Amino acid sequence: MRKFLLLLLVAATCLPATASISKKKADKDTNQFRYEIECAGNAIQGTYLVKVWSYSKKAAVAENQCRKNAVHGVIFKGYGGGQGCVSQRPLANNPGAETQNKDYFNSFFSDGGEFQKYASIIEGTTETVKVGKEYKVGVIVSVRKDDLRKALEAAGIIRGLNSGF
């Protein structure tokens, strides 16, 4: 009986460590912001409709990161034209904006962070492709770029459209 209780105690203490290790691996996969972004068609005024392809060793992790990657892409990458779309430049035209405001963006892009307010996944648009040892997951996301721009201007990350050059 003592051996059983000891084994149960050891197993119970190891489970949370295992869960946190896999969470850390998932965060590592996605914190590198390794994704592709492209236009997915025309959206209503004030929004962008983009298709984001995210990569991870687990398909569910990649799919969960698509909203985060869509917002990151609109802020820092922009995307090319195609599918009747006009190319869009990134909202942050300063290439060092992400590193200069690292604390802000760490909080902004954290799990449950503010980025979620600006992106919505269009249901039924998920595509999953196995590429080597990982998955490439594509999702169409609607990004509220006007609201995102206002929030970044208020935080002092980007300059307003009506500010001087």
Q: Does pLDDT of 46 surpass 90? A: yes
The verdict on residue 1 lying in a domain is: no
Q: Identify whether 5 is part of a domain.
A: no
Q: Report which of residues 156 and 31 the model is more confident about.
A: 156
What number is the average pLDDT over the span 37-47? 92
pTM of the model: 0.79
Higher pLDDT, 50 or 6: 50
Domain that holds residue 45: 29-154
Determine the pLDDT at residue 31. 57
Q: What angle do CA 152, 90, 54 make, to 5 degrees?
A: 100
Tens-digit pLDDT profile for residues 92-106: 988 889 999 999 999
Query: Any idea which of 9-13, 45-49, 122-126 has the lowest mean pLDDT?
Result: 9-13
Tell me the pLDDT tens digit for each residue of 114-153: 999 999 999 999 999 999 999 999 999 999 999 999 999 9
Using pLDDT thresholds of 50, 70 and 90, give the confidence band for residue 43.
Answer: confident
DSSP letters for the chain: -HHHHHHHHHHHHHHHHHHHHHHHHHHHHHHT--EEEEE-S--STT-EEEEEEEEESSHHHHHHHHHHHHHHHHHHT-B--BTTBPPB--S---TTHHHHTHHHHHHHTSTT-GGGGGEEE-TT--EEEEETTEEEEEEEEEE-HHHHHHHHHHTTSS--TTS--
41 belongs to a structural domain: yes
* pLDDT of 68 higher than 80: yes
Total of domains in the chain: 1
Count CA atoms within 13 Å of residue 164 on its CB side: 0
Lowest mean pLDDT across 10-19, 28-37, 61-70, 155-164 = 10-19
Would you say residue 53 lies in a domain?
Answer: yes
Residue 60 in any domain: the answer is yes
Does residue 123 sit within a domain? yes
Across the chain, mean pLDDT equals: 82
54 in a domain, yes or no?
A: yes
